[in-house]
Amino acid sequence: MPASATDFATLAVERHDDGIAVLSFAVPDHGLNVITPAVVADLAAALDELDRGPAPAALFVRSAREGSFFAGADVARLGGLRNLPAGEISRLCDAGRALFGRLSAATWPSVAVIDGVCLGGGLELALACDLRVATTDPRTALGFPEVKLGLLPGWGGTVRLPRLIGPGPAVEMIASGESVAAAAAERMGLVDACVPTAAALETARRLVEMHRATGFIGARRRRMAAALDVDPAERDFLAATSTAVILGRTGGHYPAPPAILRSILAGTAVDAAAAGRVESDAFESLARTDVAANLLRVFQIGERNRRDSGVESGAPAAVRAAPAVVGAGIMGGGIAASHLRAGFPVTLVDIDANALAGSVSDILEEAAWDRVTKRSDSARALGLAGRLRTSTALTTLAGADLVVESVTERPDVKQAVLADIERMVSADAIICTNTSTNPIARLAESLTRPERFCGMHFFNPVRRMTLVEIVRGPATDDATVAAAVAHAKRLGKCPIVVRDAPGFFVNRVLMPYLHEATELVREGVDPARIDRVARAFGMPMGPIELYDMIGLDTAFYAGLVLSAAYGDRIEASPLIPALVKSGRLGRKTGSGFYRYSGAGQRARIVGVDDEARAALARYALPPRATSDRTIADRLLLPMLLEALRALDEGIVRDGRDVDLAVIHALGFPAFRGGLLAWADTLGAVEVVRRLEPLADLGPRMLPPPRLVALAREEGRFSEPVGGAMPP
């Protein structure tokens, strides 16, 4: 029991008989501890109290909230930073860094006891302590995610981390924004010990006792305050290699990673006080950028999605604990692997015993993929093997409470399989179909309980693609939608609810982008130029490259569906069937629009396929005067127009879902904030102006009613409104 205790709004200070003081944080009104103005004020007051004495033998800084040391700053407050007067952001950084610096300037040693997430400002708080003890709890993770908001750590992260683990590892950790587990943090020197939670406080005591007489803490404090002695050649090498890596990752579109590199390199050459000023100035510059504002918006709409149940009625989402997947193809295997990664036991059924057996090793390898090492963890794969049950008999689905059907895209086959699944499972089980083209209403015709049926459209590759479209059919009830949304989130996915319609939402918005690219090719524009313009805008690959990656045969069938539904705007291009008939299907055959070295996902572009170009010449259109900006407008504006039409039709529930969908499924550049946020940078009047010279291309370039209204009223595209989704 403590000898005395003082309670503040966000923390408590306990003094123990052995002289140890324990400062425990528990920030109210937040799911995890976050750094708020109240936390800052309370920490200052608590340190003032400790300074008044008696001096503690040591101070332990910990969290009283399970699973959370500190999750970083209160992100909701970051949006207002750019509205502050010049110099004020830098001053706030200086003040925060000085407050944390009191921990390592005190006459007594301090130890951060890290149990749970320790991110951003939370890690800066831990770094300001003399020692750090992390726990082996799986939730314990340390990192600086600020770069994902277009920022850098502003309260000492770029100053203290390089002095602790070296400038190279510090640049990698801060510029990547990735977290590390406690064991990895110990190996890199970020923490001084990694122990079970129950042993953390006692370990902190022993570390203090061990280092009390050795002078270790004083020596570390002096090293953390001084300039780093880095060989000039090593500094130049780090600058060159890191610049190349950062450029490769960002394409030059994100200012934060190069600013992080510059700040760390400049900060290591001077003492910590001067390095802090470098950090503050860099933080202020970044906080005022449009990129930071857009990334903050993306984060906030992602948080909204995390809290959204997917329905307006508030229907409860019953937990699904016994999932199953039917179909052991590429998509079915990926969905099964996603379940294993998320901790679910899963049943996989396929009538083809050979296909089933051949899929198991790939599923386990995928499920055990380690994003840090970039390879599969064989030990983990072995451990997961016991959670994967395979069968050729649908009777094994009897105990499943959620089944994802992922067989061939033929509607007659899907209908038959879905009817068989329904006969095997209980009346309370939810049945989902993974489809990108088949109408949910049509597939539901084979079911007696269509209210328990919905689409669950995963994207390929399942591990890397976070978006899932939860497709609501005409009969799907709220409870089914809510359960499917909740289940997708338990898989670590970002689900959006869409209404049943041809192409649902993502493919409906994607196809105008792809179709316009083929029209440009028909007009004589070089495919490589089209792709270059798209990548310069920020897309991860151009539309012609994307055609070849998807597979021209797959694109052909998807195009037929969308052309039948929206033929006046999304006509089927004659180029695609011509290439398919010639056997050019894209990467998987080694040729499509481009020629490839090898085939499959590892194929590399050699150049434009001249034979394909000659074969397509018969479909040529008269050339148009085409600048790079016009190419960009023709690729992207039809996407915007189709998204606006989908909003008006109630295909999506909210405009924020539009931006999440295009970012997570199509790779639309997050630094632009999403499709609607990008349109806001142009303004509705400018969008209409850019469409005028393209009007002769037909209905696909005509402004829909929502755009006309926005231009008339000077409204914003990204307001959080949408069409009404029918119940």
Token pair in block for residue 509: 């918005």
Q: Do residues 438 and 454 make contact, with C-beta atoms less than 8 angstroms apart? A: no
Quickly tell me which residue has 């006969």 as its tokens.
423
Instruction: Print the domain residue range for 362.
Output: 323-500
Mean pLDDT of 535-541: 95
Mean pLDDT of 562-566: 86
536 and 447 in a common domain? no
Sheet holding 346-349, edge to edge: 388-391, 346-349, 323-326, 402-405, 430-433, 453-458, 467-472, 494-499
Domain boundary among 500, 515, 542: 500
Q: Is the pLDDT of residue 601 over 90?
A: no
What pLDDT, on the 0 to 100 scale, is given for residue 723? 45
Strand partners, 323: 402
What pLDDT, on the 0 to 100 scale, is given for residue 726? 36
Is there a domain that residue 66 lies in? yes
18 and 160 in a common domain? yes
191 and 331 in a common domain? no
Each residue's pLDDT tens digit, 412-433: 999 999 999 999 999 999 999 9
Q: Do residues 438 and 565 make contact, with C-beta atoms less than 8 angstroms apart? A: no
Mean pLDDT of 642-655: 94
Quickly tell me which residue has 């909003």 as its tokens.
647
- Tell which residue, 395, 669, 619, has the closest CA to residue 518: 619
Q: How far apart are CA 401 and CA 430, in angstroms?
A: 6
What pLDDT, on the 0 to 100 scale, is given for residue 563? 87
- Spell out where 146-282 has E strands: 180-181, 193-195
What CATH number should be reported for the domain holding residue 426? 3.40.50.720
Q: What percent of the chain has pLDDT over 90?
A: 80
What pLDDT, on the 0 to 100 scale, is given for residue 724? 40
Each residue's pLDDT tens digit, 667-716: 999 999 999 999 999 999 999 999 999 999 999 999 999 999 999 998 89
Quickly tell me which residue has 């064989």 as its tokens.
378
Give the count of domains, the chain.
3
200 and 90 in a common domain? yes
Is there a domain that residue 557 lies in? yes
516 and 491 in a common domain? no
Domain boundary among 500, 526, 550: 500
Q: Is the pLDDT of residue 219 over 90?
A: yes
Q: What percent of the chain has pLDDT over 70?
A: 98
254 and 327 in a common domain? no
245 and 166 in a common domain? yes
What pLDDT, on the 0 to 100 scale, is given for residue 111? 97
What pLDDT, on the 0 to 100 scale, is given for residue 213? 80
pLDDT band at 727 (very low <50, low <70, confident <90, very high): very low
Cis preceding-peptide flag for 461 (omega within 30 of 0): yes
Phi then psi dihedrals of residue 211, to 5 deg = -95, -5
56 and 187 in a common domain? yes
CA distances (Å), 594 to each of 454, 609, 610, in order?
A: 38, 5, 8
Is there a domain that residue 407 lies in? yes
What pLDDT, on the 0 to 100 scale, is given for residue 468? 98
What pLDDT, on the 0 to 100 scale, is given for residue 613? 84
What pLDDT, on the 0 to 100 scale, is given for residue 725? 38
- Tell which residue, 116, 91, 15, has the closest CA to residue 59: 15
What CATH number should be reported for the domain holding residue 80? 3.90.226.10
Is there a domain that residue 101 lies in? yes
Mean pLDDT of 653-669: 95
pLDDT band at 561 (very low <50, low <70, confident <90, very high): confident
Mean pLDDT of 137-147: 95
Mean pLDDT of 56-64: 95
Is there a domain that residue 293 lies in? no
Q: Which residues are catalytic?
A: 457
pLDDT band at 609 (very low <50, low <70, confident <90, very high): confident
What pLDDT, on the 0 to 100 scale, is given for residue 2? 63
- Tell which residue, 92, 255, 266, 78, has the closest CA to residue 175: 255
Each residue's pLDDT tens digit, 285-320: 999 999 999 999 999 999 999 999 999 888 788 889
Query: Which residues are CB-contacts of 532 (< 8 A; sequence separation ≥ 6)?
Result: 542
Is there a domain that residue 481 lies in? yes
What CATH number should be reported for the domain holding residue 660? 1.10.1040.50
Each residue's pLDDT tens digit, 97-131: 999 999 999 999 999 999 999 999 999 999 999 99
Is there a domain that residue 428 lies in? yes
512 and 476 in a common domain? no
What pLDDT, on the 0 to 100 scale, is given for residue 4? 67
Average pLDDT, the chain: 93
Mean pLDDT of 343-349: 96
257 and 328 in a common domain? no
Is there a domain that residue 193 lies in? yes
What pLDDT, on the 0 to 100 scale, is given for residue 317? 83
What pLDDT, on the 0 to 100 scale, is given for residue 722? 47
613 and 550 in a common domain? yes
What pLDDT, on the 0 to 100 scale, is given for residue 306? 92
Domain boundary among 500, 526, 546: 500
Mean pLDDT of 8-36: 93
Mean pLDDT of 190-206: 96
Q: How far apart are CA 317 and CA 74, in angstroms?
A: 28
What pLDDT, on the 0 to 100 scale, is given for residue 3? 62
469 and 424 in a common domain? yes
